[in-house]
Structure 1
């Protein structure tokens, strides 16, 4: 099953509902309350290379202006409007989008959007995947694409939302490849001639990700071993992961993300078992690496989980923060 989050303002006082929603979004944007009634219903799912959200919103603005240079986000946001109006202000690069429209926003750049009786699907997509689809992203920020150009991409996003509750992570590579093919249909084709090289790089990275999934317990999963197993040179492998801190760091983050999700599960395996399952050697090594990455040791993290269990805002905030670290 997909790791998911959910939030609904139904049955809550407006002030309490807004405070909960603002906390949920604190990692991604500043949230401001507008005049008129506020309501929010959000369901989100974690895919590799993408976070997908089904959102019904009204009476709030999402602002990414001052915080852009501080939070280090590096992905592209796609908003597919199903009903209502999405209003763009500030450095958003667009004025409004209505039913059937798709808006693209670059998190490296500031923007402000307002929701008025809005139902939309939002996809936060890794920059590397967008580059594999389009080649160049220079003119993408603030672009609004209208029907019928959005039809195929929009239908695909709606299909993912309908089926997300029953999907698992095994097919995420296939969904990413489908996005690579469908994104250009909304934008009139790839953005430049470098797109084929970028697609090949994406396929190589996907082969690496699948190997890490299969071999995550293997403590000898070094850069040299990965390069040999997926059939690329070490120079190519290091280039593929240079922007994200190197292949060794990437494998370590994948192990920690797997431990984090295991700690959030219903079962409570001991730390030695987790260390062996995810290739971290020993409980002591797991504790040291987990605390360096998450800022909290596994025991305290697990205790916080027990305390927060049943609180969708706390659970959603924690999961979303973890998802964003993986995406960027």
Structure 2
């Protein structure tokens, strides 16, 4: 795998709806973008993105906006990566599960892209690095549990990570392939260390048991179609109590809620990717534990705002694109390829 850079660039001198449309299309695999009506005539944005083989570095500047990763978008896009964003200029507020954490210039947010979130920003400049979960020590469990943590620039470790991310952005266009991969690995290690319990802005989370949490989450995904999957089975399999299991999954709304959402996400993907031999909607409903197509349709519509029949007919939850297979080699240099860039990251 080789390094490409400078590579993708989204910019322009035009203002207004056409520019906003281009911006939304470019970031659609990751964000639903909301821009205030009064800001539309003068919206401006620019983003430069570099592929390092095992990481992606993005430098972005834009007018005031709100980015959101809804449950539907998370389910549809299948992006199971971790991101760190350093705010270079401007203010932001990270919103996760009803909790708001402010960010100032120099602060760094840690984000699990397999979980919902939203972020409100003033006019800003930021640098973001996206890394596959498998690249992190312990499989990224610490960062999965620290979703939404903000590492403050004024802390010693925050200053260290701040300096590293700024240097990574400055040198990303010039790395040799081996150097790029080494830089990506070093960044993953630093990000994992930033998920410690002293990081300001983190809610109480079972960080000491993050590897167990990650293993249970992987087990749920592997057994998602099993009719026996539930609290009792998980407790027996991993030797945890019901109360301990609840505490582990409290940030996700509880283990039963997490299983329900993962089943609906898998059902949504089955409906989209069924092809010529697609299963009937009733088959998919029974496959994921619903007693009738009607109850499945009700739950599916509540989660995604569309019925299973709508999705089967080609409709997509807001912000989602049609599913595409990742290419064998690194993609080319157009914004239509950005999603494939993320999918082709390797650890």
Please give the range of the TM-score, normalised by the shorter of the 2 chains.
0.5 to 0.7
Cα RMSD of the aligned pairs, angstroms, is 3.2
Q: 1:22/1:167 Cα in 2 relative to 1: closer, same or farther (>3 Å)?
A: same
How far residue 317 of structure 1 moved from its aligned partner, in angstroms, is 1.9
Q: How far apart, CA to CA, are the structure 1 residues paired with 2:326 and 2:81?
A: 21
1:262 match: none
* SS of residue in 2 equivalent to 1:179: helix
Q: 1:183/1:95 Cα in 2 relative to 1: closer, same or farther (>3 Å)?
A: closer
CA contact (8 A) 1:133 1:184 kept: no
Instruction: Give 1:5-20 correspondences, 5 Å limit.
Output: 5-9=8-12, 11-20=13-22
Q: 1:144/1:326 Cα in 2 relative to 1: closer, same or farther (>3 Å)?
A: same
How far residue 2 of structure 1 moved from its aligned partner, in angstroms, is 2.5
How far residue 134 of structure 1 moved from its aligned partner, in angstroms, is 6.0
CA contact (8 A) 2:64 2:124 kept: no
1:32 match: 34
Instruction: Give 1:300-319 correspondences, 5 Å limit.
Output: 315-319=333-337
Q: In the alignment, does 2:340 pair up with 1:322? A: yes
Instruction: Give 1:89-168 correspondences, 5 Å limit.
Output: 89=95, 91=97, 93-132=99-138, 136-147=142-153, 148=155, 149-168=157-176
Q: How many residues align?
A: 216
Range moving further from structure 2, 77-86 or 160-169:
160-169
Q: Deviations over 1:133-157 (max 9, x none)?
A: 8653343111111022211111111
Q: 1:294/1:88 Cα in 2 relative to 1: closer, same or farther (>3 Å)?
A: closer
CA contact (8 A) 1:88 1:112 kept: yes
Q: Deviations over 1:273-303 (max 9, x none)?
A: xxxxxxxxxxxxxxxxxxx9469xx9xxx9x
1:59 match: 64
Q: 1:189/1:181 Cα in 2 relative to 1: closer, same or farther (>3 Å)?
A: farther
How far residue 46 of structure 1 moved from its aligned partner, in angstroms, is 0.6
Q: How far apart, CA to CA, are the structure 2 residues paired with 1:136 and 1:7?
A: 33
Q: Deviations over 1:62-106 (max 9, x none)?
A: 111121122111001211111111222353743321111111111
Q: How far apart, CA to CA, are the structure 2 residues paired with 1:104 and 1:92?
A: 17
Q: How far apart, CA to CA, are the structure 1 residues paired with 2:181 and 2:122?
A: 35
Instruction: Give 1:74-93 correspondences, 5 Å limit.
Output: 74-89=80-95, 91=97, 93=99
* SS of residue in 2 equivalent to 1:94: strand
1:23 match: 25
Q: How far apart, CA to CA, are the structure 2 residues paired with 1:185 and 1:294?
A: 31
Q: Any stretches of 5+ residues in structure 1 without a counterpart? A: 199-291, 306-314
Q: How far apart, CA to CA, are the structure 2 residues paired with 1:325 and 1:132?
A: 21
1:201 match: none
How far residue 318 of structure 1 moved from its aligned partner, in angstroms, is 2.5
Q: How far apart, CA to CA, are the structure 1 residues paired with 2:60 and 2:131?
A: 16
Q: How far apart, CA to CA, are the structure 1 residues paired with 2:51 and 2:129?
A: 10
Q: 1:179/1:90 Cα in 2 relative to 1: closer, same or farther (>3 Å)?
A: closer
CA contact (8 A) 2:143 2:195 kept: no
Q: In the alignment, does 2:79 pair up with 1:73? A: yes
2:218 match: none
CA contact (8 A) 1:2 1:168 kept: no
Instruction: Give 1:223-262 correspondences, 5 Å limit.
Output: none
How far residue 111 of structure 1 moved from its aligned partner, in angstroms, is 1.0
How far residue 6 of structure 1 moved from its aligned partner, in angstroms, is 0.7
How far residue 189 of structure 1 moved from its aligned partner, in angstroms, is 8.6
